[in-house]
Structure 1
Amino acid sequence: MRRIEVGGASPYVAQVGPGLLSRLTVSETPVALIHPADLPAVWVERAQASLRPLLTVEVPARDECKTLEVFADVLSQLARAGLPRSGAVVGLGGGAATDLAGFVAASYLRGVAFYTAPTTLLGMVDAAVGGKTGVNLPEGKNLVGAFWPPRAVWCDTDALTTLPEAVFREGAAEAFKHGLIADPSLLERVASPEFRPGGALLEDTLADAIAVKAGVVTRDLTEQGERAYLNFGHTLAHALEAVTHQAIPHGEAVAYGMHYAARLSHALGGADLTRHTRAFLRWQRPQPLPPLTFGDVAPFIARDKKADSAGVRFVLLRNLAQPYLARVPEDVLRREFAGWQADLGDLWPG
């Protein structure tokens, strides 16, 4: 088992290894357990046996749970059950469910203890560490939320054994991103045949990918600087999710977005890293996108959370592990969008 220390004002530990759901412990009582409807019953039952929750709340799967309506309903269920301020909320499931659970914990009675047990690769690498919680609006992703760090993170690698292969490959996008922005050794490991449930490289690669994010959020919890680099590829990714009404899974949208960001990086004088992003797209095999124009995604790009009064900023790369923020002229955005679309046609002709 690996332990990753997450520092800052409210330090905690992320544990990575098998069998963790069978031995969950929290300091607070009672507990409310929140999980998505599509989570295999075996993982819910193991968490319930460990935690003996006051109530278990089932929410819609994936981003269907990240709405203000679901958020309000969960809060009402906690209030009706009488969860006190001395209690805790535990989020179990993928990144969407744990994002929602964390926002519930941050808001209920002005804040109760929060713990998270991600059961997807995407949830473990991305959503579990860092304290970002929240829900979506029709106008864009994650526009409502709070910074609310968990007290502990439990990444039970056994839970990955029930993931469909496509969902596992989707989650690998965030680990690959951490390779591009900070730890290039992850690039080859993520695409290795041994990076799979039960594979020899799974635990250490997963822990090293989590460690990248842990280091960044320790230094910059509230995204005043360096934490923005974790959004490499996400500006277009969030636009693709919004314009397709969440039909494109987050990790696949990020894979598409990383290739676009790599093209922009090269266009503005950085190294050509598109061979890496092309190779990842071929390995991940994301679902095809619908026909899109730059005009379709531009309004969502303009609402990106990295935007300020002077416009939209993109996370770009001068080279591997050399991220920076820059504003990109609209003519470059349009030109590289056309080139990005041509690249996708070459990857999946016809």
Structure 2
Amino acid sequence: MLTVQLPTHEYQIIIEKGSLSAIGAWTASLWKPQKIAIITDETVDALYGSTVLTQLKEQGFEVTKFAVPAGETSKSLANTERIYEHLAENQFTRSDGILALGGGVIGDLAGFAAATYMRGIHFLQVPTTLLAQVDSSIGGKTGVNTKNAKNLVGAFWQPDGVLIDPDTLNTLEPRRVREGIAEIVKSAAIADRHLWELLSGLKDEQELLEQAVTIITACLEIKRKVVEEDELDNGIRLILNFGHTIGHAIENTAGYGVVSHGEAVAIGMVQINRVAEEKGLTPKQTTQQLIELLKKFGLPISYEQWNEETLYQALTHDKKTRGTAIKIILLDEIGKAKIVPTDIEEMKDYLKRS
């Protein structure tokens, strides 16, 4: 168990196999009897929706459920409005709450709805994918995509608790497992040499899943530290964006869902690190080490439909851009990252293929 301690809010993260079977009691330990809307997607709903709903009802909660189609395209303002309508029709007030049951898309969408409905209602995160368990379920970032950029509209809204059951990973298709591994590799690259060495010693995804609790805990320990130091993402928390600036541009230009978030981050890490090596800003061989680790876990390192101009236009809409500058994340070495303010024009260099 980890505890996130912020100036105005504190919450615990449970990381335990089989913990989903006690979700009713866990929720009752955090919330008084109230209305709860389970926000989920259709795939996760079929697997866990009825179990979670029944458990919550058994604890005396008044429960509704709202499911959207699975996939990145569901992270939209249109679906946010549908959630608002669902909450209003069921007479939710500021004393009620939302429980996000699913992956990163659901966590972001449900969290944004919780942050903005009646200017904020209670919120719990129950991530069921590796990507959400190692990264997006903690830290309070919520948001939806627009046609211009990923996560362009959003809010910071911390959950009251996070429940992680690694057993849910057993139902993920291999591509979704690999997507989460990209964020694990990112975490190791920016802040944990020991985790990098652990990953380097693993044979494949199956061996990684066998050590899920250890690896998830290591990733969340990194994120907990930077979130506590920089809740609103203005300083050190930016290191979590390694690979994301280019990755988000790839996701947007490919069409959301064509290239997954994790795949785009993998490609983005390799691309930005390769150019940084050429510029002498990152030690030689770090790109090769990244490539070897990503390829071992079946992740892509390049993108066939690469178009520098299209990607540059998408990149200028990235929320990390400030005026004519953007802060990019580079590696001082494996296990240590740095923030490098960069003129937006220079980003054209980082989009050039070798």
Distance 2:328 2:280 in 1: 11
Instruction: Give the match for residue 159 of structure 2.
Output: 150
Corresponding position: 1:133 with 2:142: yes
State the shift of 1:110 in Å.
Answer: 1.2
Confirm or deny: 8 A CA contact 1:62 1:94 kept in the other structure.
no
Instruction: Give the match for residue 292 of structure 2.
Output: 279
State the shift of 1:338 in Å.
Answer: 3.6
State the shift of 1:332 in Å.
Answer: 6.1
Post-superposition Cα deviations, 1:71-112, rounded to whole Å, max 9, x if no partner, equal 001110110011222111000001001110111111111111
Confirm or deny: 8 A CA contact 1:195 1:205 kept in the other structure.
no
User: Letter of the aligned partner of 1:279 in structure 2?
Assistant: E
State the shift of 1:250 in Å.
Answer: 0.2
Secondary structure of residue in 1 paired with 2:3: strand
Instruction: Give the match for residue 331 of structure 2.
Output: 317
Instruction: Give the match for residue 265 of structure 2.
Output: 254
TM-score using structure 2 length: 0.90
Post-superposition Cα deviations, 1:218-238, rounded to whole Å, max 9, x if no partner, equal 111101201111001000000
Shift in CA distance, 219/245, structure 1 to aligned 2, threshold 3 Å: same
Shift in CA distance, 320/38, structure 1 to aligned 2, threshold 3 Å: same
State the shift of 1:265 in Å.
Answer: 2.9
Post-superposition Cα deviations, 1:96-145, rounded to whole Å, max 9, x if no partner, equal 01110111111111111100100000011121010001101111010111
Q: 2:3 aligns with which of 2, 5, 9?
A: 5
User: Letter of the aligned partner of 1:19 in structure 2?
Assistant: G
Instruction: Give the match for residue 109 of structure 2.
Output: 100
Distance 2:64 2:88 in 1: 11
Q: 1:42 aligns with which of 31, 42, 47?
A: 47
State the shift of 1:161 in Å.
Answer: 0.4
Secondary structure of residue in 1 paired with 2:151: strand
Q: Which structure 1 residue ranges, 5 or more long, are not aligned? A: 343-350
Instruction: Give the match for residue 170 of structure 1.
Output: 179
State the shift of 1:153 in Å.
Answer: 0.3
State the shift of 1:30 in Å.
Answer: 1.5
Q: Which moved more, 1:10-19 or 1:277-286?
A: 277-286
Distance 2:330 2:209 in 1: 32
Corresponding position: 1:30 with 2:35: yes
Secondary structure of residue in 2 paired with 1:324: strand
Distance 1:118 1:197 in 2: 21
Shift in CA distance, 55/40, structure 1 to aligned 2, threshold 3 Å: closer
Q: Percent identity?
A: 31
State the shift of 1:193 in Å.
Answer: 3.8
User: Letter of the aligned partner of 1:57 in structure 2?
Assistant: F
State the shift of 1:196 in Å.
Answer: 3.7
Distance 2:78 2:348 in 1: 36
Secondary structure of residue in 2 paired with 1:39: helix
Shift in CA distance, 136/199, structure 1 to aligned 2, threshold 3 Å: closer
TM-score using structure 1 length: 0.91
User: Letter of the aligned partner of 2:187 in structure 1?
Assistant: H
State the shift of 1:197 in Å.
Answer: 8.0
Instruction: Give the match for residue 226 of structure 2.
Output: 216
Shift in CA distance, 312/210, structure 1 to aligned 2, threshold 3 Å: same
User: Letter of the aligned partner of 2:262 in structure 1?
Assistant: G
Post-superposition Cα deviations, 1:244-277, rounded to whole Å, max 9, x if no partner, equal 0111000000000111121233224321210222
Distance 1:331 1:216 in 2: 29
Shift in CA distance, 197/112, structure 1 to aligned 2, threshold 3 Å: farther
Distance 1:268 1:251 in 2: 27
**RMSD after superposition:** 2.0
Q: Which moved more, 1:55-64 or 1:288-297?
A: 288-297
Distance 1:200 1:46 in 2: 25
Q: Which structure 2 residue ranges, 5 or more long, are not aligned? A: none
The number of residue pairs the alignment matches comes to 338
Distance 1:44 1:188 in 2: 37
Distance 2:298 2:308 in 1: 23
Distance 1:40 1:105 in 2: 19
User: Letter of the aligned partner of 2:65 in structure 1?
Assistant: T
